[in-house]
Structure 1
Amino acid sequence: MQKIRALIASPRVLSIKSNGWLYKCAGIRWIMSEESGNVQNKPVKRVEEGNGESGEHIRKKLKSDVEQTGDERKHPKRKVVLLLAYSGKGYYGMQRNAGSSQFKTIEDELVTALIKSGCIPDNHGDDMKKMSFQRCARTDKGVSAAGQVVSLKLWMIEDIKEKLNSNLPPQIRVLGLKRVTGGFNSKNSCDARTYSYMLPTVAFAPKDYSTENSIAFRLEPETLQRVNCLFGSYKGTHNFHNFTSQKAARDPSARRYITEMTCGEPFVRGGAEFAEITVRGQSFMMHQIRKMIGLVIAVVKGYSGDEVLKRSWGEEKVDVPKAPGLGLVLEKVHFDRYNKRFGGDGLHECLEWTEEEQAILAFKEEHIYPSIVETECQEGSMASWMATLPIHDFKATAKGAQDKDRGQVGESNRIIFASSIVWFFFFKSNKMFNISSLIIN
């Protein structure tokens, strides 16, 4: 290979061909890359001395910039958001678990469809950061969504929605697609999230009511009024460290702002009476909504007094029951700040989905509501969960229970220690003792 030397420093980019290689000079550095038709037409960034980039690093960067497949040249890559609706039954939540194929998630199905449809390269499926993927909410196992929004970069192929849906199972649909700004992040740009929770109204029956006759139960207006009074107390900013796991009482991130929480009028499906709870907040922690509902159910059924809600926002650890995940649905995510800033600039659309409302409702009626009602009637997840409420001690704090457990553990250790001493002398007297065989915790 012919050796080329830069004789003078020049701000212009010089190009010299030799033995099938293209040498380019930017500043006082020579950049070597394989000759191709695309290289001559690609502008080369000027490299100043002392910027810390080696020639090999620049060569690789040039190759990655200019070497594109036919699909990439044909279809531009853009930042978009997808409106998703899905039934969470049978899935281990929304977020993908890389390298864990046995626990299938919604994102597993979505990434597979993106690759099959030609929206992203194959290697983006292994590393979702390559497509700047982000979701608004990480729904838990079994939780459904009617208005989940994800942001990502993809190739703008024709008929994206139709091709994606053809590669998705029926219980997962892409209902909308919109262009967004290059720096958009669906999680960070989301101002608020609205969830609903559909449950059989027998959950609010007195604790001595027999669940064997749950289909016949009908919620009294006075009980519904009390339920809404309790839910209303959640409004505002509170410390919800007792409503999730691994959050300390003084952790600032445990403070969350709730703007709405109500229970709607009951309705009958499958012969049983149901009701839908709606809650809107800035953001929610793992299991927070299910625990908020679980604690109100415990109070209405008579397992605890109303004061437990206020006590649960204090620093002491309170035992809060977690309602089943079956009826929880992510209804809508809100982008008020983004819409105000970019929605009217003439280049980007408002992230509102009024045109998709009928499709959202149709999906809920076909996939989400029937799944919740049928599963509840067949498996009785709410009745099974209500049977566990008596084991919760709403008066004692978790700290007291921990102290009690420590006392029991300490007593057990003393017994083990005493037994070990007895066995020590026994083995020693029989000359069978091996010090490595004695373990005292």
Structure 2
Amino acid sequence: MVQVFCGSSTSRNRNTFTRFFSPQKQIRRRNCIVANSSSSFQREQQRTIRGISLLNETDNKNVHPSHVLCPDDFMPSPTDDEDATKFELPRKKIPIALVLAYVGDTFKGNTQNVMLPRGSTVDDVIEDAIYKAGGILFSNYRSKGLSRLKWSRSSRTDKGVSSLFTVVGLRMEAPVRAYGGGKEVVGEEETNDEEDERKSSSRNRSSKRSEEEEEEDDAEAKALIVEKINRHLPTDTVKAFACFKATKSFDARRAAISRTYEYLLPLKCLRDDKNGELEMFREALKTFEGSHPFHNYTKRGLYGAGKGNDKNRKGGRGNRNKKNALTEDDDGLGETSSSEEQELEEEEEKELPKRIETSGKHTYWLLEKDVDDLVHVMHYRRIHEFTCSKEPEIIEGFESYPFVRVKVYGESFMLHQIRKMIATAVLVALDSEETPTMPLSFIKASLCRPCRVVTPMAPPLTLFLTGAEFMSFRKTNHEEKTRAAKAEEEEESEEEDDKETEKGKLRSLTISEETKNDIDRFRREHLYPKLAESFSNQDWDFFIENVRNVEPTREEYLNIVKQYESYDEMRKIRAKEKEEEEEEASMIEKSLL
């Protein structure tokens, strides 16, 4: 059997692709492609055909067999376009922003991974559903990294993490009528009688058009797109809620300016709040607010100029940005990997810079710069708000598992960051004379460049994305323009925006009240029951046991806090001196003038 897997693109084989896979000849060539393993088709093996590689079964060991396409299974039938579950014709490829929600307990993340079985990630399920609905052509289906679809995500999540508001950006074959299109096409050669007849019929339809205008110009395209996609989705696990028309430059990750996550923490992790642990936990969360380097709350080597990026710097700026794009906004991703543990072991083998150590192998205060473990600007993040519910809550049907709701609102988050911050706050809340752990003052020290500490990590079972804010859709022009031309263009764009606002068609990613209610219903009926079931998971018991058995003693933590206080005082003195120098230079400059 000859198999097909989507790969990289080459333009020199477009004619070959058309000969074998053009929609007009797919059905006629079908038997020849599958049955005849000899002659011309066999000669095309091992060649790339406009992004589709023809491979033998023994090739491409890094790709799971379920991702490999068999032409016999994916050739469309003549009645496909008449299927009620497909988008209506005509269709046009346009950039769209799809709003969806999913329960993450059955997925191994939302990002495509060809090494896992097909359907293991949310990307797989969504792409398959859009393809079955007619929104993706066979030539663009299952491309490497979904690059042919210009696929982007507002946030990346891994195994066990859910979402109520993830936006996926892609180029999709959408019904022309979905966003106010579908106007009547007139032939080039038209007689006067035909033209009069067309105008007359157009006037007769004007009243009908006004009645159907809201449905046809639906900004969220619920009837024409969303409902069709949902017919091919397991809506109790993954569901689409809205589909907006975006601009060509739209990138969901870059367009998201803030994100909000919630985490349901079982009250037993805080000793059932017997000694005021909840209030201390709330105070610890507040300490994280603001802009800080969160290098101790992620895998440092994945960001900036740390250990993991030396090879990227050799590869040039493009490769470095590519790696950061893969790891940035990995909100609440997976578990500690073996590679991370290996890097920690490698630290012991190399010659280390001067530092104040503790009994914990990887908790210390640097007295000089460590060139192999630098804190970079990419480690900085801004958290606007980090709060906890005032009183414990319960989910109906699971009254024996009280929990507190943790809510974090920030611009973006790094790998493991949210779960590590929550676990550290739990560690601080458990600090007492009977069981000394980590003092509250150490959190500020951990958010300082010279400090290095391996922080604990909470389970991913009850972490989920609840919302995101986006910039308005806007067009970009990469051509250089004069300031006068730019000013003129801004004035024209403002006038166009005003007109669109008057018509109610301003393209922005703002969901309607109806969609908000639908998402809230999905939360109550599908997400919460799954989260409540996870409260009985043994991972919570392991977490409680591990978080209490910290390696550094409380006195050693306080010793690092003293170093931080001296460091912070020195920074303030330097900042004051710099300010005085700038004022003096400014006065000298004024006197010379």
User: Do these two structures clear the TM 0.5 threshold for a shared fold by scoring above it?
Assistant: yes
By how many angstroms is 1:100 displaced?
A: 2.9
By how many angstroms is 1:380 displaced?
A: 3.5
Which residue of 2 is the match for residue 197 of structure 1? 263
- Aligned length in residues: 320
Aligned with 1:350: secondary structure?
coil
Mark the structure with the bigger radius of gyration.
1
- Aligned ranges 1:88-99 → 2 under 5 Å: 88-99=104-115
By how many angstroms is 1:372 displaced?
A: 1.0
Aligned counterpart for 2:447 among listed residues 286, 290, 313: 313
Which residue of 1 is the match for residue 484 of structure 2? none
Aligned with 2:402: secondary structure?
strand
Aligned counterpart for 1:177 among listed residues 226, 243, 248: 243
Contact 1:200 / 1:275 at 8 angstroms: preserved in 2? Answer: yes
- TM-score, normalization by structure 2: 0.50
Aligned counterpart for 1:253 among listed residues 351, 356, 378: 378
**Aligned residue type for 1:367:** H
Q: Cα–Cα, structure 1 residues 167 and 325, in superposed 2: closer, same or farther, change >3 Å? A: same
Contact 1:181 / 1:348 at 8 angstroms: preserved in 2? Answer: no
Aligned counterpart for 2:229 among listed residues 161, 164, 178: 164
Which residue of 2 is the match for residue 351 of structure 1? 509
Whole-Å separation in 1 of the counterparts to 2:520 and 2:293: 34
Which residue of 1 is the match for residue 402 of structure 2? 273
Deviates more, 1:164-173 or 1:266-275: 266-275
Whole-Å separation in 2 of the counterparts to 1:266 and 1:390: 22
Q: Cα–Cα, structure 1 residues 337 and 318, in superposed 2: closer, same or farther, change >3 Å? A: farther
Aligned counterpart for 2:147 among listed residues 129, 132, 155: 129
Indicate yes or no: 2:457 matched with 1:322. Answer: yes
Which residue of 2 is the match for residue 426 of structure 1? none
By how many angstroms is 1:87 displaced?
A: 0.2
- TM-score, normalization by structure 1: 0.67
- Aligned ranges 1:387-426 → 2 under 5 Å: 387-395=545-553
Name the structure where strand makes up a greater proportion of residues: 1
Indicate yes or no: 2:415 matched with 1:286. Answer: yes
Q: Cα–Cα, structure 1 residues 318 and 173, in superposed 2: closer, same or farther, change >3 Å? A: same
Contact 2:118 / 2:124 at 8 angstroms: preserved in 1? Answer: no
Deviates more, 1:182-191 or 1:122-131: 122-131
Ranges in structure 2 where 5+ consecutive residues have no aligned partner? 1-17, 20-49, 51-77, 82-87, 179-223, 307-373, 432-436, 475-492, 561-593
Aligned with 1:76: secondary structure?
strand
Whole-Å separation in 1 of the counterparts to 2:93 and 2:244: 13
Aligned with 1:231: secondary structure?
helix
**Aligned residue type for 1:268:** I
Contact 1:180 / 1:348 at 8 angstroms: preserved in 2? Answer: no
Ranges in structure 1 where 5+ consecutive residues have no aligned partner? 1-32, 35-59, 61-68, 206-216, 401-441
By how many angstroms is 1:179 displaced?
A: 1.0
Contact 1:92 / 1:103 at 8 angstroms: preserved in 2? Answer: no
Q: Cα–Cα, structure 1 residues 184 and 204, in superposed 2: closer, same or farther, change >3 Å? A: same
Aligned with 1:387: secondary structure?
helix
Identity of aligned residues (%): 28
Aligned counterpart for 2:161 among listed residues 143, 148, 171: 143
**Aligned residue type for 1:276:** R
Contact 1:262 / 1:278 at 8 angstroms: preserved in 2? Answer: yes
Which residue of 1 is the match for residue 428 of structure 2? 299
By how many angstroms is 1:345 displaced?
A: 6.4
Q: Cα–Cα, structure 1 residues 390 and 228, in superposed 2: closer, same or farther, change >3 Å? A: closer
Whole-Å separation in 2 of the counterparts to 1:241 and 1:195: 20
- Aligned ranges 1:20-99 → 2 under 5 Å: 74-99=90-115
Indicate yes or no: 2:125 matched with 1:109. Answer: yes
**Aligned residue type for 2:95:** K
Whole-Å separation in 2 of the counterparts to 1:386 and 1:224: 15
By how many angstroms is 1:176 displaced?
A: 1.0
Q: Cα–Cα, structure 1 residues 385 and 78, in superposed 2: closer, same or farther, change >3 Å? A: same
Aligned counterpart for 2:289 among listed residues 231, 235, 239: 235
Contact 2:289 / 2:384 at 8 angstroms: preserved in 1? Answer: yes
By how many angstroms is 1:221 displaced?
A: 9.6
**Aligned residue type for 2:462:** G
Which residue of 2 is the match for residue 414 of structure 1? none
Whole-Å separation in 2 of the counterparts to 1:337 and 1:235: 26
Whole-Å separation in 2 of the counterparts to 1:393 and 1:300: 17
Whole-Å separation in 1 of the counterparts to 2:250 and 2:227: 24
1:22-63 CA-partner distances (Å, limit 9, x unpaired) = xxxxxxxxxxx99xxxxxxxxxxxxxxxxxxxxxxxxx9xxx
1:389-412 CA-partner distances (Å, limit 9, x unpaired) = 234324569xx9xxxxxxxxxxxx
Whole-Å separation in 1 of the counterparts to 2:438 and 2:115: 44
Q: Cα–Cα, structure 1 residues 229 and 391, in superposed 2: closer, same or farther, change >3 Å? A: closer
Whole-Å separation in 1 of the counterparts to 2:294 and 2:511: 31
Whole-Å separation in 2 of the counterparts to 1:125 and 1:76: 16
By how many angstroms is 1:338 displaced?
A: 4.8
1:135-178 CA-partner distances (Å, limit 9, x unpaired) = 01111211000011111111113722112111111200001111
By how many angstroms is 1:232 displaced?
A: 1.0
1:228-283 CA-partner distances (Å, limit 9, x unpaired) = 22111111101101111124442110000000110013212312211111101111
Contact 1:266 / 1:275 at 8 angstroms: preserved in 2? Answer: yes
Contact 1:343 / 1:349 at 8 angstroms: preserved in 2? Answer: no
Whole-Å separation in 1 of the counterparts to 2:457 and 2:169: 30
By how many angstroms is 1:110 displaced?
A: 0.7
Contact 1:308 / 1:394 at 8 angstroms: preserved in 2? Answer: no
